[in-house]
Structure 1
Amino acid sequence: MTRLNGRTAVITGGATGIGLATAKRFIEEGAFVFIFGRRQEALDAAVAELGPNARAVKGSVSNPADLDRLYAAVKAERGTLDIVFANAGAGGPLALGKITAEHIDEAFDTNVKGAIFTVQQALPLMGRGASIILTGSSAGTTGAPAFSAYSASKAAVRNLARTWAEDLKGTGIRVNVLSPGPTATDLAKAALGEEGVKAFGAMTPLQRMGDPAEIGAVAAFLASSDSSFMTASEVAVDGGLAQL
Structure 2
Amino acid sequence: MKKFNNKLAIVTGGNSGIGYAAAKELITEGATVIITGRRKEAVEKAAQELGAIPFIADQAKLEDIDRLKTEVENQYGKIDILFINAGITGSLTLIENMDPENFDQVMNINFRGAYFTLSKLIPLLNDSASVIMLSSIVASTYKPNSSVYQASKAALNSIAKTAAAELAPRKIRVNMISPGPIQTEIMSKAGLDEETLKGLNDHLINQIPLKKMGTAEEIAQLVSYLADHNASGFMTGTEIIIDGGIAL
Is 2:114 the partner of 1:112?
A: no
- CA positional deviation for 1:76: 2.8
Q: Report the counterpart of residue 205 of structure 2 in structure 1.
A: 201
Moved more, 14-23 or 66-75: 66-75
Q: How does 1:59-70 map to 2 (within 5 A)?
A: 59-70=57-68
Q: Report the counterpart of residue 237 of structure 2 in structure 1.
A: 232
2:206 alignment partner AA: A
Q: How does 1:91-170 map to 2 (within 5 A)?
A: 91-92=89-90, 93-170=92-169
- CA positional deviation for 1:187: 4.3
Deviation digits for residues 135-185 of structure 1 (CA, Å, limit 9, x no counterpart): 110111122221000001101111111111222131111101111111101
CA distance in 2, matches of 1:121, 1:203: 40
Q: TM-score, normalised by structure 1?
A: 0.93
1:91 alignment partner AA: T
Q: How does 1:170-189 map to 2 (within 5 A)?
A: 170-188=169-187
Percent identity over the alignment is 39
Q: Report the counterpart of residue 50 of structure 1 in structure 2.
A: 50
**Structure 1 residues 104 and 189 mapped into 2: Cα distance closer, same or farther (>3 Å)?**
closer
CA distance in 1, matches of 2:213, 2:188: 10
Q: Report the counterpart of residue 33 of structure 1 in structure 2.
A: 33
Q: Structure 2 stretches of 5 or more lacking a match?
A: none
User: Are the aligned partners of 1:140 and 1:155 in contact in 2 as well (CA < 8 Å)?
Assistant: yes
3-state SS of paired residue (1:152): helix
User: Are the aligned partners of 1:91 and 1:103 in contact in 2 as well (CA < 8 Å)?
Assistant: no
Q: Report the counterpart of residue 241 of structure 1 in structure 2.
A: 246
CA distance in 2, matches of 1:115, 1:187: 18
3-state SS of paired residue (1:30): coil
User: Are the aligned partners of 1:127 and 1:172 in contact in 2 as well (CA < 8 Å)?
Assistant: no
- CA positional deviation for 1:189: 6.2
User: Are the aligned partners of 1:62 and 1:117 in contact in 2 as well (CA < 8 Å)?
Assistant: no
Moved more, 69-78 or 31-40: 69-78
User: Are the aligned partners of 1:11 and 1:34 in contact in 2 as well (CA < 8 Å)?
Assistant: yes
CA distance in 1, matches of 2:145, 2:38: 26
CA distance in 1, matches of 2:130, 2:123: 13
1:20 alignment partner AA: Y
Deviation digits for residues 10-37 of structure 1 (CA, Å, limit 9, x no counterpart): 1111111110010001101111110111
2:61 alignment partner AA: N
CA distance in 1, matches of 2:142, 2:210: 20
Q: Structure 1 stretches of 5 or more lacking a match?
A: none
Q: TM-score, normalised by structure 2?
A: 0.92
